[in-house]
Amino acid sequence: MNKEKKIMNSEKPNYGYTAIKYFIGISIVGLIGLIVVMFTFFIEDPLKSIIFMLIFPIAITGLYIGALYIPLYHSILRTNPIKDVWKHILKDFRGDEQVLDIGCGTGRVSINIAKHLVSGNVVGIDIYSGVSGSSPDTAYYNAEIEGVRDKVEFKYGNVLDIPFPDNAFDLVTAGSVLHEIHDDKEKLIVLNEIHRVLKPGGKFVSIEILRDVRLYLALLYFAFVWKTKNFWETLLSKSNFKKWQSETHTQFLNLGIFIGQK
């Protein structure tokens, strides 16, 4: 059975985040290792020392990964708290907005927003490089399952050169996307592109996981890619957005919510 058929049979949206099961597996190995190490107290040397030296590092590594990565992964990727963030942002919506979701991936943000629209539409653009399984097909499949297929459109598009005219959208959203533009000058280009495609008075909302010491402890590559709140605020102040605000929403990790207005 190919991957696409498996997805179709599951009847659940596929937002492409599956690594949690590997972290759980590694933690279980760590736990079993720890139990084995405890049993070495009942046996004699040299077997005791050999088992201890071999198994103890594995047990500690497994448990360390479990203790740090599982809550971290769960916190980032569990959809409900993120849904709550968007709900909070969308509370003043009329329902007829034209929305652009940049870096839409598997459509998670686009679909959440589409659920709040009545006659409005969401267009999602992506270069489809990041999230595993991300493609317009997967995003359309998710939209179908979530009942918003008629309100969304997904297509290829680079945020560095947004393929839409000036003043086209009431809202532009970016769910954990801006950090993927690694060059800071390019990040500024993206902010100004977003500003360009917004209608006067239109809003831009970006959600970014904020860097903190736990990410370094977890030896996570993202510790270097995710930025501090101060970084994003400085970048916004250099952009064409003259009105903007920021909030922090904590759900194990700190999520920075940045709202700009044209």
Q: Which residues bind ligand SAM (CB under 6 A)?
A: 102-106, 108-109, 125-131, 134, 158-160, 175-177, 180-181
Q: Is the CB of 71 or the CB of 130 nearer to ligand SAM?
A: 130
Least distance to ligand SAM, CB of residue 129, Å: 4
Closest CA to 206 of 260, 168, 162: 260
Phi, psi of 257 (to 5 degrees): -115, 120
Find the shortest distance in angstroms from Cβ 72 to ligand SAM. 14
Identify the burial level of 33 via C-beta atoms within 10 angstroms of its C-beta, where 0-12 means exposed, 13-18 middle and 19 or more buried.
buried
In angstroms, give the least distance from the CB of 202 to ligand SAM: 19
CB of 247 to ligand SAM, least distance (A): 18
Tell me how far apart the alpha carbons of residues 107 and 86 are, in angstroms, rounded to a whole number: 14
Q: Minimum distance between the CB of residue 164 and ligand SAM, rounded to whole angstroms?
A: 13
Minimal CA–CA distance to 116: which of 88, 144, 156, 155? 88
The minimum distance between CB 190 and ligand SAM, in angstroms, equals 7
Residue closer to ligand SAM (CB basis): 153 or 180: 180
Residue showing tokens 């070495």:
40
